[in-house]
Amino acid sequence: MNSLLQWAGALFVFSGAAAEQAEDVPKYEDRGTILARVEIAGKAYRFDVDTGSEATILDKRLKRLVGPVTDKQPTHTPAGDSIREIELFKGPLMKLWKSETELPEVGIIDLSALESDIGIRVDGILGMTILRDIPQSWDFSGTRLIWSTNWVNSVSATTVPFEGQSTNWFFYFSATANGIPLRLIVDTGAQGSIDLNPTDWETVFGKNPPKTATIMGEDGFGNEFTSTCARLASLQIGDAVFTNLFCSRNLGTNLPSSIGLDFLRRHRVFMDFPNSQLTVERPSGLEKDDFNMTGIHVRWGKDGLPFVKWVESKSSGEEAGVRKEDRILKLDGKGVWRMRPQTIFDLMRKGDGQVLELEIQRNGKSQTIRVTLRRVI
C-alpha cells in the first residue's frame, strides 16, 4: 500500500508548475482511490486525496510525528448518522512535491480498513483542511492530476461557481438532478458516481423511484452497511447534461450529496477552490455507467491476494457458488497478485451477460468458477 517512485497512475503537479514540465514529477497509483506522495521529516508517505474529508488524517502508526492534542472533532460515517469523535493534534510540516505546509491540526485514525479495501499501505488522508488551498485539474484519460492553475478550456467545458464553504470546509456547487435543484460537493474519496443523502434522494425520486437494487458497502472505519441504488435520468451542471447515471443513497442525513470517482474518471474536472469555481468538460461517447454485476465484494489480505469479504444474496456470484472467504487467484486467466482494485472492479462490470472466470482457493484446494454477469439496474 511498493516503492513510491514506481507508482503508475495519476500524475500530480503542484501549484506553480506548468503541465509541460511535469516529467520530473513522481507518478502515483489509482487503486480505487487516488494516492499522493507526501514527505514528512524527509520520509515519503502515501496519502489518500479525499475532497470529501473535512480533516487531514494520519494513520495511528504515525502518531509519533504529531504534537500535543489541540481539540476534538465529531466525524460522521457513511454507515449512518453515527458520530465518531476524533482527537486533533498539532500537525507536522508536510512537503507536497515542491510545496511545504504546516498543518495546524490533524486527526489520528486506524486506517487498516482502508488498506484492506485497496490492497496497499495508506499512511494518511489529505482532507479539505489542506486541499481547499490547492487548485486541481483531474484528467483521468491522460492519467494526470495537475495541481496548479493551468487549465486549457475547450468548447465542451462548462464552469459553475462554488458557493463558498460552510463551517465544515466543504465547497458546494449547484446542479439539477431529474430537474430538481441540488447542492453537491466533489468527493474524490467516494467510489460511486452520484451519492445522495436521504433528504435529496426523497426530493429527487419521491416515494416511487425507478427500479432500485440493494448494494452492500463498508466505510473507512470498517463498518458494513447496505444502501439503495437507482438510475438517475439526468444530472445538469451548468449547461452540461449527463444522463443515465448510477446513483446510490447514503445513510447519513448529515452528509452532503456528492459526485464521486466513477463520475470523475470519465471526465476532465478542474476544482479551483481558491477562486471558488468548478469546471467540468463534457464527455463524448461514454460507456454506460454501471456497478458491480457479480455481487462479489473483495478485500486484500496481507499476502497481497484478494479474498471474498462477502457475496450479496441472490446475486450472480452467489448463484455461481462463490463463497465468503474464498481467496481469488486468477480472473479471466490472469493472476491477481497486486492487481489494481480498479481493474478487478472493471472486470466485475464488463458487460451484462458476459462471463467472468474466477480461479479461487477454498480449504486449501483450487477450483474454477464461472460467473455470468448480470446488470443490477
Supply the CATH number for residue 310's domain.
Answer: 2.30.42.10
Residues 259 and 224 occupy one common structural domain: yes
Q: Would 255 be classed as within a structural domain?
A: yes
Residues 165 and 267 occupy one common structural domain: yes
Cβ proximity of 373 and 350 under 8 Å = yes
Confidence of residue 320 (pLDDT cuts 50, 70, 90): very high
**Cell digits of residue 104:** 495546524
Cβ proximity of 139 and 268 under 8 Å = yes
CATH code for position 41: 2.40.70.10
- Which residues, listed in sequence order, are joined to residue 170 by a DSSP beta bridge? none
Residues 87 and 207 occupy one common structural domain: no
Q: Find the Cα–Cα–Cα–Cα dihedral 38, 126, 259, 261, rounded to 10°.
A: 30
Q: Counting beta carbons within 10 angstroms of the beta carbon of residue 118, is it exposed (0 to 12), middle (13 to 18) or buried (19 or more)? A: buried
The pLDDT value recorded for residue 321 is 96
Residues 135 and 158 occupy one common structural domain: no
**Cell digits of residue 342:** 480498479
Residues 103 and 167 occupy one common structural domain: no
Residues 29 and 137 occupy one common structural domain: yes
DSSP type of residue 344? H
Q: Is the pLDDT of residue 205 over 90?
A: yes
| C-alpha span between 103 and 333 (Å, rounded) | 46
Cβ proximity of 172 and 244 under 8 Å = no
Residues 6+ apart with CB under 8 A from 217: 78, 224, 225, 226, 227
Residues 158 and 273 occupy one common structural domain: yes
Q: Would 85 be classed as within a structural domain?
A: yes
Domain that includes residue 160, residue range: 151-281
Cell numbers 481539540: residue? 71
Whole-prediction pTM: 0.82
Task: For the chain, give the longest Cα–Cα distance.
Answer: 58
Q: Which residue has the higher pLDDT, 118 or 121?
A: 121
Residues 11 and 135 occupy one common structural domain: yes
Please identify, among 141, 173, 207, the residue that sits at the C-terminal boundary of a domain: 141
Percent of the chain clearing pLDDT 90 (strictly above): 32
Q: Would 27 be classed as within a structural domain?
A: yes
Q: What is the mean pLDDT of residues 281-292?
A: 65
Backbone φ, ψ for residue 65 (5° rounding): -90, -10
Please identify, among 281, 304, 319, the residue that sits at the C-terminal boundary of a domain: 281
Confidence of residue 4 (pLDDT cuts 50, 70, 90): very low
User: How many structural domains is the chain composed of?
Assistant: 3
Please identify, among 252, 281, 310, the residue that sits at the C-terminal boundary of a domain: 281
For the chain, what is the radius of gyration of the CA atoms? 20
Nearest CA among 376, 99, 130 for reference residue 229: 376
Nearest CA among 249, 377, 231, 262 for reference residue 315: 377
Q: Among the listed ranges 52-66, 72-86, 241-255, 266-280, which one has the minimum average pLDDT value? A: 72-86
Q: Is the pLDDT of residue 14 over 70?
A: no
Q: Would 265 be classed as within a structural domain?
A: yes
pLDDT tens for each residue of 143-179: 556 665 555 556 568 889 998 655 567 899 999 999 9
Residues 101 and 224 occupy one common structural domain: no
**Cell digits of residue 89:** 493534534
pLDDT tens for each residue of 253-274: 678 999 998 888 777 788 888 8
pLDDT tens for each residue of 119-131: 788 999 999 888 8
Q: Would 323 be classed as within a structural domain?
A: yes
Q: Among the listed ranges 68-72, 77-81, 230-234, which one has the minimum average pLDDT value? A: 77-81
